[in-house]
Amino acid sequence: MEPWMLLLGAGIALGCVSGHLYTAPDSCEGRCGEPFNEEDECHCHPGCEAEHNCCEDHERHCGPDGFSSSSGSISERELLELSEQLYRLDHNKARPSDIALNPQHLAGPDETGDKQDRSPQPLYRYVNEELFSKPTYASFIKLLDNYQRATGREEEVTAEELREQERFLEEVMKTELMKKLFVFLQGKNRYSSEQEFLQDLNQMWFGLYSRGDGERDSSGFEHVFSG
């Protein structure tokens, strides 16, 4: 499986199980039918229409054709079946003959915090470098030097780095498995267009958040693949 699929799987799984990908205080996304709370900016409880205090997107998320309707709900079984389908559709992944590992020392439970390097040799004994010329691999690799390793220092995203992010998303969306994922989510009323889906992916993977000192110093992509 390609490495970016790990990030995709985590984000989509969390979003699908909960019924949404993001929840904002002024939105009913993921809040349909919740109890009334006077501290909320707007409301999504069953009586909000009569009380004229619903969030603006109440109908979209909580109406008969909204995310919480039976046609738009996503079960754990469906999510499991989808993940199996996506794995089978990943024709771009490395084959067993493309990679050879050198596992070396198997650390025990009492060694997990050990600072001694018990596996000094490279983890990979062999990698078929032809993999790196595939469009998804090549565009993925270009992203890896875009981040500062230290937390607490705000990321400065350059125009070139933004283009690299866009290129990666473009290449990913050309794959059969991402087309399948979009069709599934569109059928569940999560997205009305591929552009809307791309915007969500971009925010999920590359949207900046703080891991230290209030600075926008990290993203989902960086945290998973760059440490």
Residues 127-151 have pLDDT tens digits of 999 999 999 999 999 999 888 777 7
Residue-level pLDDT at 219: 86
Same domain for 38 and 52, yes or no, is: yes
Same-domain pairing of 82 and 182: yes
Task: Identify residue 77 by its one-letter amino acid code.
Answer: R
- Residue listed under structure tokens 């939105």: 27
User: First-to-last CA distance in the chain?
Assistant: 20
- What pLDDT score does 34 carry? 81
Q: What is the pLDDT of residue 8?
A: 56
| pTM (predicted TM-score) | 0.67
Task: Give how many domains the chain has, as a whole number.
Answer: 2
Helices 194-206 and 4-18: crossing angle in degrees, nearest 10, is: 110
Q: Which CATH number covers residue 49?
A: 4.10.410.20
Q: Are residues 81 and 188 in the same domain?
A: yes
Same domain membership, residue 193 and residue 168: yes
Q: Based on the domain organization, do 62 and 134 belong to the same domain?
A: no
Least Cα distance to 130 among 103, 101, 99, 91 occurs for 99
pLDDT at 76: 84
Task: Name the phi and psi angles at 218, rounded to 5.
Answer: -150, 165
- The list of the chain residues with pLDDT below 50 reads 10, 13-22, 70
- Per the listing, tokens 């993925």 go with 140
Residue 150 shares a structural domain with residue 46: no
Give the pLDDT confidence score for residue 15 in this predicted structure. 47
C-alpha to C-alpha distance for 74 and 15, rounded to whole angstroms: 10
CB atoms within 10 A of CB 140: 21
Instruction: Give yes or no: residues 85 and 33 share one domain.
Output: no
- Mapped onto helix, strand or coil, the DSSP state of residue 142 is helix
Provide the Cα torsion 146, 128, 134, 221; round to 10°: -30
Q: Look up the domain containing 194 and give its range.
A: 75-89+129-227
